[in-house]
Amino acid sequence: MYRIGPHSRRSVDYFFTKGVGDYHYGEGHPMKPHRLSITNSLVIGYGLHEHIDNFLCPQPATVSQLETFHDSDYVDFLSKLTPRNVEEMFRLHGDMVNSSEDCPVFTGLFEFCKQYAGASILAARRLGEESCDVAINWTGGLHHAKKRGASGFCYVNDIVLAIQHLLRKYARVLYIDIDIHHGDGVEEAFYNTNRVLTVSFHKYNGEFFPGTGKLDDNGSGLGKHFALNVPLKDGIDDESYVTMFRAVMEPVIATFRPSAIVLQCGADSLGCDRLGAFNLSIKAHGECVRFVKSFHLPLLVLGGGGYTVSNVARCWTYETSVLLGVQLPNQLPSTKYDRYFLNDRRLHPPLVRNVENQNTRQSLEKIRISVREKLRYMDGAPSVQMQVLPPDLTRWLEDEEEREGEGEREREDNPKMLGEWYDPESFAPSGEGKTLETGSASVMYEPVVLPKRGKARKAGGRKKVVEEGEEGTGGSGTPRGKRRVVRRKSGKRKEDEEVDI
């Protein structure tokens, strides 16, 4: 496939699984999957689907695909978890969920996880195949999930799964996170590698969930200096945020020279968000997307946080138009979700509330200088010289066909063998795995083993688990057991719980 020059229109794929917005975390929970359906309705209402090259309905991720990052026993735990057996499962495996309040068990939980993860994996696959230049999946971006546990409303880390897939094709992947919460799950997954550079812009005060993402958290081992954090304070405004974003990302991209970019667009960094504390407008949030797009690199754009449903839908609809290069009128189109916009029918309502900007010019300049100083230690893009580029997808498929032809292993009716490429469309019921407008959307899979991280980093924030002491004797000579402190992301004013485990 030949690529046309950067001044030509870039091809854009859009991913949305029917029914992904129908799940419900529970009464009063801030996370509302319904926002995904509202966003999709606005995208179609504005006619943006007519400018999208491929509007795709992905298949759910398979268990084998989830296990390329997550521990198999954790995936098995999720697959068996239901509202009916939750007490028994938490008694046996309570260590896999930091807080049942933040990560509740609801009907269809595992199917929901497979749907948004499958969309991100397919998006990454199509970028790797050069079938598109930009891939949009607003259903993904759940950046807190860990290898062996749920955290911060996130159960499966679709971002890590997508980046793993991109690393098969691309030597270096840049991950950018503009959610108000630190992208701890993604940073942790790639903390020891120099092939993935993570950059997170987030609120940090030591207490705000997840309590990680200090300025001097930089990665370790081979990944030393390949985790960059931009910790911000309450009330940051449009000018300060966009200026900082440009000042950080331009030298980062010039130094790291990524082959592809993954951008997580959590909308809880908007002003007036239910759990947020920034003063960003939708246009400023979208300006970050526009700036990243301007580098003309393969780009995967994902959703994330965002807890004022109407503003989340506005924001991601606007950013879809930015990625498509389409101007939208400020008047919202009429959809079946008009009741969410009764108070204001504009795409860009004012979102500034009475939160003082605690980010001074001096504090922001200190962060900018610190980040630029860290870039000196990257020494360009070491992976180009030190590592062999992964083979392209076509070559891997050819190798797999040769092995099958030699009969090295027997294929079953529904193969999920480790290390095997397969096309689930050929095993799916009729009608599944099709795009809404174009051909096949089948998913291929091969595991990528990440380097293990040494010692787990200390967590912090409104919801964290801190192991305090080990079994044995405390300083006073009295026996003590393991204890954990549970703090929550949901923002409820509740004292920390200390429980013996």
Q: Which residue has the tokens 């607003």?
A: 138
Nearest to 415 by CA among 427, 432, 430: 427
Residue 465 to residue 212: CA distance in whole angstroms: 12
Residue at 1: amino acid letter: M
102 labelled ligand-binding: yes
The answer on whether 181 is annotated among ligand-binding residues is yes
Q: Which two tokens mark 74?
A: 């954790």
Distance in angstroms (rounded) separating the CA atoms of residues 101 and 354: 29
93, 143, 144, 202: the active-site residue: 144
CA distance 189 to 271: 30
* Helix (H) or strand (E) run with residue 399 in it: helix 393-405
Distance in angstroms (rounded) separating the CA atoms of residues 141 and 152: 12
Task: Show Cβ contacts of residue 339 under 8 Å, excluding neighbours closer than 6 positions.
Answer: none
Helix (H) or strand (E) holding 174: strand 173-177
DSSP structure class, residue 273: -
Let me know if 143 is a catalytic residue. no
- The reply, when asked if residue 76 is annotated as ligand binding, is no
For residues 203 and 213, is the Cβ–Cβ distance under 8 A? no
The reply, when asked if residue 118 is annotated as ligand binding, is: no
CA distances from residue 324 to 300, 320, 419, 438 in whole angstroms, order as listed: 13, 6, 36, 18
Classify 461 in phi/psi space as left (phi over 0), alpha (psi -120 to 50) or beta. Answer: left
Crossing angle of helices 72-80 and 109-128, in 10° steps, is 130
Q: Tell me: is residue 179 an annotated ligand-binding position.
A: yes
User: Cis peptide before 58, with omega less than 30 degrees from 0?
Assistant: no
Question: Which residues are documented as binding site for substrate?
Answer: 102, 152, 307
Question: Which residues are documented as binding site for a divalent metal cation?
Answer: 179, 181, 268
Q: Could you give the residue numbers annotated as active site?
A: 144
Question: Which residues are documented as binding site?
Answer: 102, 152, 179, 181, 268, 307
